[in-house]
Structure 1
């Protein structure tokens, strides 16, 4: 396969793009030719003309919900990975809040078998921190790591007991796996469904105080320092969390964090009505919080963007905040949204965006992914930077439609995705190829 008329980021630190042609054979990148050089000679190659699209390494998402087993009415491994491929993701890490949660090596092996059978891209599975995602009963972390768990997370629920987190981090440090936490103190969250602030007052909804997140981040920073474990904060969302992370990192604590597209691009002031399609946990915060998270991307405090892609059924989202499920889907258009609203507005460089979606998360989790060079698996994606499109839920590949960006115009839609040299996403804008 010969990919022609591509553009890639050039050497150095600028966002300059250079003409590139890429030859793929036997599932790997065989040659990359940049500049005005002739294309690699391969007379029997299938030629794909990407018409000036930006080609990057396949994106790496360390936070997705595939819902299988147990909730296949919301998503399956097949549909969830196809949706990820639609957005340019070729490696994802699946959260363990499934039914049942994979809290033993046997259950984890069952999930891994489903992945082998149905995934169209690379998928790594998390183990829960505790059986049933409770605040007790830490799993056999050593055995789970040996069984292939990429990390440990109770995503969707905060670990309420410091002693439980301490035991988990002590063991995770021994196997060099991240503990990826949903920081949330339930005694502070209470019955809240939206960020406590202007929007909660305007919509007369119970708020979630920002301390629900930050008190656990502060607690866990001290535990990470004491144990030497890699603590990873999922979906960082507040000014205070960023301050704690920055201070801990300066003190040498092994702490990392991810930002989500929705916490970067939306605030609670954007919520138009009591519509659960805008309900997510942690909730959309203030403009000051979004700016603090963006600053963390630019200064390196945050080293990954992850989607927290959380599909739900229409009845679970076409309702009030009070009764709706927490969670959004963005992974089919994450790159386009971020390119349109951050890169094109000068808030983030294109090079930094690509790093945050590829090498950043791959390096955090020690994954063999996120790079485009000769000899590596041909995991790559192409984005039409100069073309505009609308986000249309009727065209979504995944089963979830719960996306607050519906009908938003974007540039940089993903038009081609290869995983292991296989075409796993092809948009008709490319036209017929030979």
Structure 2
């Protein structure tokens, strides 16, 4: 089967290409990139006025399967990914049971092949049962297909265990992904500690809790000479610590989320539980530091931290609600609206952070448009205006801090392995 994407603006950060042209796909591979490619006997997508990018990659999602399918499962989560323009997602191991052995890694990979509609990658646990006491079967999981190792869902307080884990994963050049917050400082808080929390009388999570944890985790990675990835960075102190570590040659990468890049703690004056996330939304000075970190390469990737919950779990008083919300279907719109249309990032920079760099960090052969590459492609309209409506989401999580907001920019076509999976907002599989 042949598919021709014709007349689109091809943006490929891998080689800094930004041209108007055509892409011809056959048998799941890109076979030609050029001008005015012949169309006989070929399905044609008219991409005039649209951006054609390497498929978006989300390296931090919670698909909840196994054990927490009331919140999300592989079928619903990967359809939400396709609806948002993502062709690959990597799922976190904080499920029930936790993904801490090769059998579970293998099982999720197989479920992704049978139930999923986008490429599904697996992140294995660092410690058994995520208890932070004993290393999980790291080597077996990596050899089975795990692309990273993490105890995300909480901060690993056991310094010795993290040191040992980094020494072990370093032999595979496999990144450890850390949720870096000192729970001794932050554990009893519900939002960013600052002027807004003081005004509301809500106990806060101080930004220094993140700074301390990031510094510790980077120091251990530097000592072990092992790759480490700092998840969902939210504080200006952490940005500077990562910046200085990179200058020293530490193997550290980092991500920020669309919500931490576009929202502040001012939103919590409504006590809407959709705004409750971990780490928390912070004040505008932290947001500005995150954007500066994206611009100068300190922060390598944009990841959603897609964390859906059942409706009744979030429909409670603010302090009792779990942290997190569904982010796959709003990510591109939030980033284009908040960062591109405000002149803070270019399209090239956004696609690099949402495709090329996540692939590079996880060691994936994707995130690029080149002849011979797997045809994972996202076509989006940066000018498309639409309103967020959680009820229409494919994800089971129906809470979003962006509910009822108008976004400018939306994925219109998601192509996975040469097949159109989503078109004009409708997932076709």
* TM-score category of the 2 structures, normalised to the smaller one: over 0.9
Alignment of 1:31-430 (within 5 A): 31-34=32-35, 38=36, 40-427=37-424
SS at match of 2:58: strand
Contact 1:377–1:421 under 8 Å retained in 2: yes
Contact 1:277–1:318 under 8 Å retained in 2: no
* Offset, 1:201: 2.2
> How many residue pairs get matched?
424
Contact 2:91–2:123 under 8 Å retained in 1: yes
Aligned equivalents of 1:191 and 1:288: distance in 2? 23
SS at match of 1:389: strand
SS at match of 2:148: coil
In terms of mean alpha carbon deviation, does 122-131 or 196-205 score higher? 196-205
**Residue number in structure 1 paired with 2:23:** 22
Contact 2:311–2:397 under 8 Å retained in 1: yes
Q: Does 1:8 align with 2:21?
A: no
Aligned equivalents of 2:13 and 2:287: distance in 1? 31
* Offset, 1:428: 6.1
Unpaired runs of 5+ residues, structure 1, are 430-434
Aligned equivalents of 2:102 and 2:12: distance in 1? 44
Unpaired runs of 5+ residues, structure 2, are none
In terms of mean alpha carbon deviation, does 55-64 or 328-337 score higher? 328-337
Over 3 Å counting, the alpha-carbon distance change for 1:10 and 1:284 in structure 2 is closer
SS at match of 1:120: coil
Contact 1:23–1:30 under 8 Å retained in 2: yes
Over 3 Å counting, the alpha-carbon distance change for 1:249 and 1:12 in structure 2 is closer
Contact 1:339–1:411 under 8 Å retained in 2: yes
1:315-370 deviation line (CA, Å, top 9, x unaligned): 11222221101002221121221111111111111111111111111111211110
Structure 1 length-normalised TM: 0.94
Aligned equivalents of 1:127 and 1:338: distance in 2? 28
SS at match of 2:171: helix
| TM superposition outliers: structure 1 runs of 4+ over 4 Å | 10-14
* Offset, 1:13: 9.7
Structure 2 length-normalised TM: 0.95
* Offset, 1:51: 4.2
Over 3 Å counting, the alpha-carbon distance change for 1:29 and 1:198 in structure 2 is same
Contact 2:12–2:369 under 8 Å retained in 1: no
1:137-181 deviation line (CA, Å, top 9, x unaligned): 111222221121111111111001111111110101111110000
Aligned equivalents of 1:205 and 1:145: distance in 2? 42
Aligned equivalents of 2:99 and 2:402: distance in 1? 32
Aligned equivalents of 1:310 and 1:319: distance in 2? 17
**What's the RMSD between the two structures over aligned residues?**
1.8
In terms of mean alpha carbon deviation, does 266-275 or 355-364 score higher? 266-275
Contact 1:63–1:94 under 8 Å retained in 2: yes
Contact 1:275–1:318 under 8 Å retained in 2: no
Contact 2:231–2:256 under 8 Å retained in 1: yes
Over 3 Å counting, the alpha-carbon distance change for 1:221 and 1:317 in structure 2 is same
Contact 1:5–1:50 under 8 Å retained in 2: yes
Contact 1:10–1:18 under 8 Å retained in 2: no
